[in-house]
Amino acid sequence: MGISNETQRPRAIVHVDMDAFFAAVEVLDDPSLAGLPLVVGGGEARGVVCSASYEARAFGVKSAQPVATARRLCPGAVFLPVRHRRYAEVSRQVFAILAEFSPLVEPVSVDEAFLDLTGCERLFGPAAKAAAQIRRRIAEEVGITASAGIAINKLCAKVASDLCKPNGLLEVPPGTEAEFLAPLPLSRLWGAGPAAQKELAKLGITTIGALARADAAWVEKRFGKWGASMHAHARGIDPRPVRPPAAARSVGKEETFDADLYELARAHNKLLSLCGRVARRLRKKQARGKTVTLKVKYADFVQITRSATLEHPTDDAGEIYRACRALLARTQVGSRPVRLLGVTVSSLHAPGMAEQKGLFDQGLSQRASRLNAAIDAIADRWGDHSILPAALVDEED
């Protein structure tokens, strides 16, 4: 039996990436910010830049840069705090549009995703036409711009979208992957980190094409299995499929503090807030978890974790908090300055999978469910930070 045309058809992978997403949402909500150098980030002392408009980037401001550095580079920029709830709301609008074009959508982050449009030509036309429709709908229905790269694999689609930013569309024709990548610097290649780039530069290999022309056996011997993958990528080979996200295996939240925590009471308050937010996320996912993990990073960057397994799966902040309090007692919090606290709940159970409880426990569970429903209603309207920590537990510090 011969191979069908469907089997032989090249893949059509699209990488869609919002342009300066957080900054773009701020402009969407306040049009007077349009055209200004805009920086979205954390606090002054230890915050980092989460997003910068292209006007700010012209001054050298970039993501993951300390906010203090960004202020020195661009003192005239408008600095705004991060609004995660608002960005998540806009992100959901974008992903709802993407889901209309393919069931195979793989989120990379809140503002970018891969789509596999292979076989969708009868519905939307060629991949380039479909990508143009996606970008147009995002602009018209959401009010922000997106760039898109099209190729037969994820690697080249991602590089293409990066190269055509902002607000661009770039297609890599099938069969031209190696040619497309060849003149680009190694920094554009997945897997070629700073250490590898430095070592390869010593050998005169500074472009993707130069790496592709190097002997494959030599590259693998020099860098191991990772080197073999890197060499394949340099030749434009990337067989990885677009994978929709699997069910979450854990739910967590952590916070890095602008100033170190010294007092145990303050750590309890911060922990209580984190537990409330984790519990709320669990309920949104309609999941409960049995394993509670506490993460502590001290001021000297030493990091530890402590875990405990509950008797029953839970989505209740009070239960999670009580477990975390016990774990906190096994740390040096209170006698050693703390830079970060984090709470994660894992070993998740879907509704109906929870273990059977006794009659008395069921009564308490119903009471907790009513309280949690009230908390969720308040948070939906006013935000997570509107929840009073005292509402989450029945004990006093």
State the SS3 of 223-236.
HCHHHHHHHHHHCC
Residue written as tokens 């469910």?
369
Per the CB < 8 A criterion, the answer to whether 364 and 348 are in contact is no
Enumerate residues 6+ apart whose C-beta is below 8 A from 248: 285, 287, 348
Per the CB < 8 A criterion, the answer to whether 226 and 203 are in contact is no
Active-site residue, from 26, 106, 112, 319: 112
Q: Rg (Cα) of the chain, in Å, rounded? A: 25
Enumerate residues 6+ apart whose C-beta is below 8 A from 381: none
* Cα atoms found within 13 Å of the Cα of residue 208, Cβ hemisphere only: 27
User: Alpha-carbon distance 117 to 123, whole Å?
Assistant: 10
Distance of CA 43 to the CA centre of its chain: 20
Surface-to-core class of residue 187, CB atoms within 10 Å of its CB (0-12 exposed, 13-18 middle, 19+ buried): exposed
CA distances from 257 to 14, 39, 82, 261 (A): 38, 20, 15, 8
Reply yes or no on whether 311 is catalytic.
Answer: no
User: Which amino acid, 25?
Assistant: V
Nearest in space to 126 (alpha carbons), one of 79, 61, 171, 156: 171
User: Alpha-carbon distance 213 to 48, whole Å?
Assistant: 39
- Give, to the nearest 10 degrees, the angle between helix 317-328 and helix 264-284: 140
Catalytic residues: 112
